[in-house]
Amino acid sequence: MKSHVRLGARASWLSRFIAVAALMLILVPTALAQDATPMASPGAMSPGEQMVRTLDPKALPEGWKIPASATHVTNYGVHEWYQNLTKGEATRAADYGIKFKQVDANLDLQASLAAVQEVAGQVDVINFTPVNEKASGPTITKLAAETGKPIICESSPTDGCTTLISIDDYAAGFKVGVWAGEYAQKNLDGKARILDVGLPALTTTVNRSKGFADGIKSVLPDAEVIASVDAQGLKDTAVKVSADALTANPDVNIIFGINDDSALGGLQAFESQGGDTANLLVVGFGCEGKACKDALAEGGPYKVSAAMFPEYQGRLIIDAGVAAFNGTELPTHIVAPTIAVTADNLGEYYAKEGDGYTANFDAISQISVEGEK
């Protein structure tokens, strides 16, 4: 759950996004190696970011040393996002010969801070996802100063991090908002009555909701968010709070969720009340797991999600740690790629294998992050 959007830059970003989106409709992707960088203007990236995006474990710069170990202190390890993210980290760490493990704070702030302090004395690189971004800042800042070790943060901006690996949440929300607006024009009589199944405690998820609202209103100026609920990113909570909101607002025809569980929980609440799903659009965020991909492929009301590619982000986290361990100066934020994924393009980014899905790193690496913050 992530974000680094500057309010003053949004107007210029929106105009660039429209131009880039139009261009991407006519471009045919060119095959790249697995270690290729997501498309971005080289001049827009610092040398450190370029290094991270192009690292090859088998062809490191001369004189570089490989860290012996890295541990990721996650905030909620039972969530499918973190299961897939840390699998990506473990796979990439193995490419280097780095010993990798995960420590789960299970949404407990004190457990998170205690864990990261303990880990700091045991490993060469610390990967960290905050339970609370503001409350974690003093501890991370102190550890960075005392140990000098790289602290690669994921999801939310936290003071003291060497760098943050995350998507531009506002931009990703805007992308699926535009898609939803165009869908509503063609299929919902141009009407958009939106239930926002959000998470107001984090700046990252607030930016997702804000980006979605701005994106859909760029297509349908009369689109209206008629209810926003706090589902805490959890499906059971999403079902409950969405049911209450839908009872009070039976004319909702679009449900936006800030993650898979929020969107799927909102859909479950709608179905449990006997709503007409033929006139409903569900918009998700993350598409980190099997449930989202299956829902997209089924062709029901869940038609689009802002895919975040946890497996690929895991690679970036490990690569950033290796670069920082070797003294590479990294930017405050390295933007991970996102795209509006639907039933039509799902197969470009994930191959269905048995009961699961395998990420296509070649295709993911081609997604543009141009203009994203």
Encoded tokens for 116? 């990261």
Residue 222 belongs to a domain: yes
**Looking at residue 294, what is its pLDDT?**
96
Are 350 and 230 contained in the same domain? Answer: yes
75: left (phi over 0), alpha (psi -120 to 50) or beta: alpha
CA atoms of 56 and 66, how far apart (whole Å): 12
Are 235 and 114 contained in the same domain? Answer: no
Domains identified in the chain, total number:
2
- Cβ-contact 295, 263 below 8 angstroms: no
Q: Which residues of 76-112 are buried (b: 16+ CB within 10 A; e: fewer)?
A: bbebbbbbbbbebbbebbeebebebebbbbebeeebb
Are 236 and 298 contained in the same domain? Answer: yes
**Looking at residue 276, what is its pLDDT?**
95
Are 135 and 262 contained in the same domain? Answer: no
Are 128 and 188 contained in the same domain? Answer: no
CA atoms of 126 and 356, how far apart (whole Å): 30
Q: In 3D, which of 114, 141, 234, 251 has the Cα closest to residue 188?
A: 251
- Cβ-contact 202, 131 below 8 angstroms: no
Alpha helices in 188-302 (DSSP H): 203-219, 235-248, 260-272, 290-298
Are 228 and 160 contained in the same domain? Answer: no
Are 174 and 44 contained in the same domain? Answer: no
Residue 371 belongs to a domain: no
**Looking at residue 202, what is its pLDDT?**
84
Cα-based angle 164, 154, 56 (whole degrees, multiple of 5): 75
Residues in Cβ contact with 302 at an 8 Å cutoff, skipping those fewer than 6 apart: 263, 264, 267, 282, 284, 292, 295, 296
Encoded tokens for 99? 């010993």
Residue 372 belongs to a domain: no
Residue 347 belongs to a domain: yes
Residue 118 belongs to a domain: yes
CA atoms of 46 and 201, how far apart (whole Å): 31
Q: Which residue's entry shows tokens 């946890």?
A: 310
Are 236 and 262 contained in the same domain? Answer: yes
**Looking at residue 142, what is its pLDDT?**
98
Are 292 and 174 contained in the same domain? Answer: yes
Give Cα 27 to chain centroid, integer Å. 24
**Looking at residue 180, what is its pLDDT?**
98
Question: Which range marks the domain in which residue 79 is found?
Answer: 36-167+311-336
Q: In 3D, which of 279, 271, 217 has the Cα closest to residue 254?
A: 279
Q: For position 108, which CATH number holds?
A: 3.40.50.2300
Residue 368 belongs to a domain: no
Are 263 and 324 contained in the same domain? Answer: no
Helix (H, G, I), strand (E, B) or coil at 130: coil
Are 139 and 199 contained in the same domain? Answer: no
Averages of pLDDT over runs of 10 residues in the chain (373 residues) are 36 38 29 34 78 95 98 93 96 98 97 98 97 95 98 95 98 98 98 97 93 98 98 95 98 97 97 96 96 96 98 98 98 97 97 94 92 92
Are 109 and 150 contained in the same domain? Answer: yes
Q: In 3D, which of 298, 225, 219, 297 has the Cα closest to residue 257?
A: 225
Residue 82 belongs to a domain: yes
Residue 367 belongs to a domain: no
Residue 251 DSSP label: T
